[in-house]
Amino acid sequence: MEVIRQGGVAGSLPTHPGDAKTDLRIRQLRARDLLSGDLDGAELERHVQESILTTTLDKAVGWARGNAMFPATFGLACCAIEMMSIVAARVDVARFGFEAFRASPRQADLLILSGRVSIKMAPVVRRIWDQMLEPKWAIAMGACSSSMGVFNNYAIVPADKFMPVSVHVPGCPPRPEALMHGILKLRQQIVSGPDESWRARYQAIGTEELVAIEGPKDEGGGA
């Protein structure tokens, strides 16, 4: 079998966006364009932002955040048992600094939606999510909270319908190792990415809660 290596210009083009090496490549190209005066407008601003904001301080903050996450105790159904398993000794989540499960959402920054969200529970979950302080992340654990899961019926709501979710972990229930993989993926996102609130990450238009007031009609955000 012959291995064909792409050389020349084609070989230097980024092929996998999101890859660390590729991001570096993109930044190098932009820096080259900046110096030659080819970048302007929004691209220029973005490049400046990126090259300034991913400073050592930001990296340090991201590292600190990612290594000391406080998950909220939010066990809904069967996935909660596997979530308890990651706290247990075999798949030990304390190795990564996550063992302090906080009962109060005000003190937590990670919501692991473990289990099926029924329509009666959805407003409660939303309220708890709203009570959490920025920056906050959510993991939809299991098939039921990510999509409808095994039960595609009148009583279940997929979590994406009412709250933004950063990582979806498939499985029914996902093995503790699978949940760990999801958590570590999220941790990688937090540690490496610049800090954006979930609204900016999701361009979450219309997820603010609007209370109707008397007077001229204000635009209601899409539900």
Partner 1 sequence: MSTTGYDYRQVEDSITMAPLARQLSENLHDELLTLNFGPHHPATHGVLRLLVTLEGEVVRDLRPMIGYVHTGIEKTAEDKSYWKVIPVVERMDYLAYYFNAYAYVGAVETLLDLEVPPRARYLRVIHMELNRIMSHLVWLGTSCLDLGAISMFWYCFRERERIMDLFEQSSGQRMHTRYFQVGGVMEDIPRGFAEKLRQFIAVMPERVDQYEAILDRNEIVVQRLRHVCPLEADKLMELGVTGPLLRAAGVPWDLRKQAPYCSYEDFDFKVPVGGIGDNYDRFLVRIREMRQSVAIIEQALDGLPEGPWMTDDRKVALPPRHELATSMEALIHHFKLVTEGFRVPPGEVYFPIESPRGELGCFVRSDGSSKPARVHMRDPSFVNLQATGPMVQDAYIADMIATLAALDPVLGGIDR
Partner 2 sequence: MPDATGLELLAQELRAADAESVVSTTHFRGKGTIEIAPAAVRATLQRLRERGFHFLCSVHGVDYHPEEPRLGVHYELLDMEKVDRLTVKLRVPVDAPEVESVTPDWPTADHQEREVYDMFGVVFEGHPDLRRILMPEDYEGHPQRRDFPIGGEPVLFTLDEARGTQYTR
**Which residues bind to partner 1, rule: CB under 8 A?**
73-78, 80-82, 84-85, 87-90, 103, 105, 115-116, 118, 120-121, 123-124, 128, 144, 150-156, 172-173, 175, 209-210, 212, 220-221, 223
Q: Is 119 in the site for partner 2 (CB under 8 A)?
A: yes
Q: How far apart are CA 115 and CA 117, in angstroms?
A: 6
Place of tokens 């083009």: 13
Place of tokens 């991913």: 54
CA–CA distances in Å: residue 211 to residues 128, 191, 197, 214, 217: 18, 36, 22, 10, 12
Least separation in angstroms between CB 78 and partner 1: 4
Q: Which does 217 bind (CB under 5 to 8 A by kind): partner 2, partner 1, none?
A: none
Listed in sequence order, the residues at least 6 apart from 50 whose beta carbon sits closer than 8 Å to its beta carbon are 27, 194
Q: Which is nearer to partner 2, 53 or 124 (CB)?
A: 124
Least separation in angstroms between CB 217 and partner 2: 27
Give me the count of residues in the chain: 223
Q: Which is nearer to partner 1, 13 or 94 (CB)?
A: 94
* Binder among 36, 56, 152, 203 for partner 2 (CB under 8 A): 152
What does the radius of gyration of the chain's CA atoms come to, in whole angstroms?
21
Q: Is 150 in the site for partner 2 (CB under 8 A)?
A: no
